[in-house]
Amino acid sequence: MNIRLDAPRSTAEYQALDAAHHIHAFVDQKALNAEGPRVIVRGEGLALWDSDGKRYLDGMSGLWCTNLGYGRKDLAAAASHQLEQLPYYNLFFHTTHPAVVELSELLFSLLPDHYSHAIYTNSGSEANEVLIRTVRRYWQILGKPQKKIMIGRWNGYHGSTLAATALGGMKSMHEMGGMIPDVAHIDEPYWFAHEGNLSPEAFGLRAARQLEEKILELGAENVAAFVAEPFQGAGGMIFPPESYWPEIQRICRQYDVLLCADEVIGGFGRTGEWFAHEYFGFEPDTLSIAKGLTSGYIPMGGLILSKRMAQVLVEQGGVFAHGLTYSGHPVAAAVAIANLKALRDEGIVTQVKQETGPYLQRCLREAFGDHPLIGEIQGTGLVAALQFAEDKTSRKRFANENEMAWQCRTFGFEEGLIIRSTLGRMIMAPALVASHADIDELVDKTRMAVDRTARAYGRL
Ligand code: PXG
């Protein structure tokens, strides 16, 4: 029996068929059809190969998700075994199965003691859809149904489904229409982009206090929750000043507003802690998870609830009118278990915290600390951003920073490196299994791409 795809085709053939039938994500499809997409055919560790045999170092873990890198046989074996044992069963109609039970046991052994229950989904967007429904249900049960406004942040990203788009703060996405009611936004804590003279700490407090102002404007009795990524991923890998999260937590507690962390990118070891909120030192009421939960080998996400919220939903809530056909899918759960065991038992998260994370951060600061194009280097663990700036001291940004960053990304691809650009920032998040040699290659190739950009724009 042939269990493989058809025999390999030429790049041109793949591109022609793709153009004929497929609408891609976040792209002008007509322009992409003219250019032809890269066809990625294989991965091993941090390396990817395209259909022309060119090798790339993947500096982005796919889309922030392949925390264990490519080619893990244990994850493939876990999926294969579960497919043979029980490929599907649902969790409706008073039923459960061993894979989802064991996943929950393992997950809550890794999470702080503050959390007790999960609602499983297939993606991060769905996790945030469920978040909105769950938070509103929570306040209904407590006799406060008017508490339903969700506050998110401009330039935050929470997914591409309807309510997740509304909750996020990507204006181009909002402009496509279909916004939902009872959602509000405050500014992002992006110190480098602020035009005044505040220190990072003072700016962080000011950014957090916008939440207080917004709650007072809307009426605390109407506000259900504040939702944010501990550090913004898709928005440019923006780390808030240290003063930010403690102040946000104070405000949420003072006004009885739930604090919801979107850990879809930050979770599962990226910062060197299991979850990014642990790195920033705050205690959210909910965590949205996906991506690194399965290292992206198979789709799975979820919403984690604090004991306090779960207690209300379980003990006082009656029927919770929500469910997805594939919630807690047994194959996804089996892969998640294998993934989490590897992250834990191979000491990968600890290694990011103690060794490879500090090494990447040190190398980036050595390579770019005095670079004429770079104004700021942010990051911790195995996530980092380089901010382009015309003048580092005054934080003056290039008028065409977006175009420069895109050019830098293109040079990166030419050098065999996958790195991402967002506005004027180059961002990277390599697999957590990155070795010193992988990190050296990542930094060297990034340096080549940034130098080529500096030369192209007459800055070197
Ligand atoms: N929350 C966060 C914080 C995310 O980063 C989602 C939710 C949605 O997850 P799903 O699984 O529904 O895609 C994400 C997704 C980028 C990029 O350009 C980032 C994401 C998705 C697509 C592109 O950095 N993150």
Q: Where are the domains of the chain?
A: 38-71+347-456, 74-345
Pocket lining: 153 vs ligand 1, CB cutoff 6 Å: no
The reply to whether domains 38-71+347-456 and 74-345 share a CATH topology is no
Domain 74-345 top-level CATH class: alpha beta
Interior/surface letters 338-366, b for 16+ CB within 10 angstroms, e for the rest: bbbebbbeeebbebbbeebbebbbebbee
pLDDT confidence of residue 5: 81
Pocket lining: 188 vs ligand 1, CB cutoff 6 Å: no
Q: Whose CA is nearest to atom 7 of ligand 1?
A: 158
Pocket test for ligand 1, best of 65, 264, 275, 297 (most atoms within 8 A of CB): 264
pLDDT confidence of residue 6: 79
Atom in ligand 1 nearest the alpha carbon of residue 128: 7
Q: Whose CA is nearest to atom 19 of ligand 1?
A: 234
Angle at 158 between CA 142 and CA 300, to 5 degrees: 90
Pocket lining: 273 vs ligand 1, CB cutoff 6 Å: no
CATH classification number, 38-71+347-456, choose in 3.90.1150.10, 3.40.50.2300, 3.30.43.10, 3.40.640.10: 3.90.1150.10
Torsion of CA 10, 13, 14, 15, to 10 degrees: 120
How many beta carbons lie within 10 A of that of residue 419, not counting itself? 27
Pocket lining: 409 vs ligand 1, CB cutoff 6 Å: no
Strand order from edge to edge, sheet including 183-186: 115-121, 301-306, 286-289, 258-262, 223-228, 149-153, 183-186
Stretches in the chain below the pLDDT threshold 70: 1-3
How many beta carbons lie within 10 A of that of residue 173, not counting itself? 18
pLDDT confidence of residue 337: 98
pLDDT confidence of residue 346: 98
pLDDT, tens digit, 9 for 90 and up, residues 219-271: 999 999 999 999 999 999 999 999 999 999 999 999 999 999 999 999 999 99
Q: Report d(CA 76, CA 74) in Å as an integer.
A: 5
Atom in ligand 1 nearest the alpha carbon of residue 234: 24
pLDDT confidence of residue 224: 98
pLDDT confidence of residue 139: 98
- Å from CA of 93 to ligand 1 middle: 31
Task: Decide: residue 172, CB within 10 A, 0-12 exposed, 13-18 middle, 19+ buried.
Answer: exposed
Pocket lining: 63 vs ligand 1, CB cutoff 6 Å: yes
Strand order from edge to edge, sheet including 425-428: 374-380, 383-388, 425-428, 420-422
- At residue 311, what are phi and psi to the nearest 5 degrees? -60, -45
Long-range contacts at 19-26 (CB < 8 A, ≥ 24 apart)? 25/160
Pocket lining: 229 vs ligand 1, CB cutoff 6 Å: yes
